[in-house]
Chain A
Amino acid sequence: MIPVKDFVICRVSGRALPLRGDDIDTDRIMPARYLRCVTFEGLETHVFEDDREQAAGQHPFDNPAYRGASVLIGGRNFGCGSSREHAPQGLQRWGIHGIVAVSFAEIFLGNCVLLGLPCLTASVGDVQELQKLVEENPRSEVCLDLESRKVSISSNGKEMASAPASMPEGVRQSFLGGTWDGTALLLSAPADVRRIAQSLAYTRAFA
């Protein structure tokens, strides 16, 4: 079994990177040509590559002020589109260890859970306020607190603002309990799996 202790994630904190815009799809996060690979290694260098190219240095991922950020602040429907895990893999390898956004696409969210990358949602107003505060003061620290379900921002150790943030309860429990990497759990009941497999008419070819 997995040593659960090392997997417990109660909070993610660090400097943040505000990424404005809704419906940011995974094709933008990781262009398809970088899916021609048999490992996820090195994907961090291609995160938002085409958007960054078109923004000619003005993209938040190229802004030196946000270098080393570990929290991404996104908009509505973040991570929509393709199921490519290459997108969250790239973000995580770039250094993003938590995301707060107005909402997430579900496959993206599921992928993030299995990578130990917590995604929390907050209201449009709170997310925009957070983005603004970080833009004004990129050195401030953002904390995603899974235990108390809130996101807060502080500067020089002083909290400037905080807001409620949420994630599906089952997922939250899996982070707090260190069980988000759930393969071992799925593997722990082979007899139950066999029972269901055998109970289904189609696995017996309707014989």
Chain B
Amino acid sequence: MRKNLLQKIWDAHTVRQLPGGQTQLFIGLHLIHEVTSPQAFADLRRHGWKVPYPDRTFATVDHIVPTAERSRPFLDTLAEEMMTAIERNCREYGIALFNLGDERQGIVHVVGPELGLTQPGMTIACGDSHTSTHGAFGAIAFGIGTSQVRDVLASQCLALSPLKVRRIRVSGRLSRGSYAKDVILAIIRKLGVQGGVGYAYEYAGEAVEAMSMEERMSVCNMSIEGGARAGYVNPDEKTFEYLKGRSYSPRGEAWERAVAWWGSMASDRDAHYDDEAELDGTRIKPTITWGINPGQSVEIDEPIPRANEVPPADRASVEEALQFMELKGGASISGTKIDVAFIGSCTNGRLSDLREAARIAKGNRVAAHVKALVVPGSDQVRRAAEAEGLHEIFRAAGFQWRDAGCSMCLAMNPDKLVGRQVCASSSNRNFKGRQGSPTGRTLLMSPAMVVAAAIAGEVSDVRQLL
């Protein structure tokens, strides 16, 4: 015994060893979306390959869909062409599609879990780097490129190199105003944006155990931002509780057997790890990125680093980031004026995120100069939020309330930054140009902190509003 979850899942899904040391791994759940799949289907057609396990692939539309005016055909003819392509491809190959107008539509990493498709012990793949999100359920989930999407469609397998596992223990309980987002930003800052190369991250410790499934998803989501190939949390009672009664969850007697099997896939108590890291969860404070990669962050009351204070190897990056962001080393991040506030994405577009954001927004007003957007991660999240009246709270506070999609997380749809705008964003990437304007600037933070920034019109400490 003494295996960790990754080893157990890997072994159970190994079809065979390939020459050269890679493993042919069976993929239990394959999720696709409109952006990274059309070329894969084109390849299938070119080679005359079939899809042998069409019921193991599910499709949704999220990246290019507008979140305001959604009537077809889309104004953007390229986006419309992609929609037509995924509709045709799913029809021809017998793949279920959660299209616009379907109540199951939403961001791929939000809908998989909420429908109960994502389950412990599975191997999961999707042509999207944030597939690591699904690891929150104790699955091993890989983000892949389009050629690999083709491989999974054609063979239900991937050829993968072995992975090491680093256990990251976050001890203690989080303090008021600190969220799962702050935990993962703190982890990435500590271990670096490439610290995870060659690893899967196992998140453990009291703080992680105390997290809800949605919070665990926020953490696992950004594993990729730390360079890790995957991230996971061992399945526990909370995992099973979340899955109970979902559309694709097992029922009746099968449920009991499922829970037993899921539980057996968790890491053994004395499992082997290739590396370990530890963080004190009680000391994590609201964290904000100031730079152009998710590792460049500070706590709210900490100065932005000066280029001459960082290790020589990081100096050029820090200088480039400060220049692009027009921020000064040594200055405070608090008080940085913002133009746009975005709440949404596969990191923080779930119901609990919106509830917390609404709780803080209630009775407050978005600053006059700020454009503020709330975009639910899925149609199911939208309906649940509306049933609770969250949309009214947001609207009353001056936020726009939208339909589900990726929206301003990557701006392949009409939601984009303009020019040098600064955006307080609950998404996961602050890369140059990420939010649609090549010169636009992104400050990543928790949804609660986005609300605080929207109200103040500048980066400010959410703890003053709690």
Which residues of A approach B to under 8 Å, CB–CB? 20-23, 25, 27-28, 31-33, 35-40, 49-51, 53-54, 76-77, 80-86, 88, 103-107, 110-111, 114-115, 124, 168-174, 177, 179, 182-183, 185-187, 189-190, 192-193, 196-197, 199-203, 205-207
Contacts and interface: CB of A to CB of B under 8 A. Distances in A.
A206 B320 CA distance: 53
A32 B436 contact: yes
A77 to B, nearest CB: 4
Interface in B293-318: 293, 313-314, 316-317
A196 B145 CA distance: 24
Given A174-B20, A185-B18, A196-B14, 6 more contacts: A20-B316, A22-B316, A37-B82, A50-B438, A85-B145, A192-B16
Given A115-B147, A173-B19, A186 B24 contact: yes
A84 B145 contact: yes
B18 A197 contact: no
B434 A206 contact: no
A106 B432 CA distance: 20
B24 A189 contact: yes
A183 B227 contact: no
A185 B159 contact: yes
A80 B317 CA distance: 14
A81 to B, nearest CB: 6
Contacts of A205: 250, 254
B265 to A, nearest CB: 10
Contact of B15 (A104, A110, A196): A196
B431 A81 contact: yes
B15 A183 contact: no
Nearest to A78: B194
A193 B20 CA distance: 19
5 nearest A-B pairs in the assembled complex, by CB-CB distance:
A170-B21, A173-B20, A50-B438, A111-B145, A85-B145
Nearest to B16: A192
A105 B161 CA distance: 14
Nearest to A51: B432
Interface in B220-243: 224-225, 227, 229
A174 to B, nearest CB: 5
Interface string B332-360: 00000000000000000000000000000
A105 B21 contact: no
Nearest to B230: A106
B185 to A, nearest CB: 16
